[in-house]
Amino acid sequence: SQTIHQWPATLVQPVGSPLSLECTVEGTSNPNLYWYRQAAGRGLQLLFYSVGIGQISSEVPQNLSASRPQDRQFILSSKKLLLSDSGFYLCAWSVPRTKDSTKLYYEQYFGPGTRLTVT
């Protein structure tokens, strides 16, 4: 079965410090990977997604970046954190599935998340 790990679970960082959050997936090959951010009491905002090693697409321009150095590893980084970067960061994975040999769809599963507080 597939599992997804994220670390650290919680992080408190001062404004202006760098950031590195890591996500790894086990039990599947060539997954699509996603980074979401959830501000307190809010919905889920897609930040980046990746369909393969080294392939990153950004959804929201900001001071964050993402990298995928290995097939099942996804990293979220920042050179200088802002107060507004605080939130719950969620990594997710999906693989394509088909129904009736025609319908292509993706089931997406989330990791446990990293709660980031920028002070």
Residue owning tokens 């307190």: 40
Cβ-based nearer residue to other proteins, 83 or 103: 103
- Relative to beta strand 10-13, strand 114-118 is parallel
54 and 73 Cβ atoms separated by less than 8 Å: no
C-alpha dihedral (36, 38, 39, 41), degrees to nearest 10? 170
Given the rule CB under 8 A, which of 19-27, 62-70, 79-87, 93-101 is the region that contacts other proteins? 93-101
- Binding other proteins (rule: CB under 8 A), the pick from 44, 53, 58, 73 is 44
Contacts to other proteins from residues 48-77, by CB under 8 A: 49, 51, 59
- Residues of this chain that bind other proteins (CB under 8 A): 32, 34, 42-44, 46, 49, 51, 59, 90, 94, 96, 99, 103, 105-113
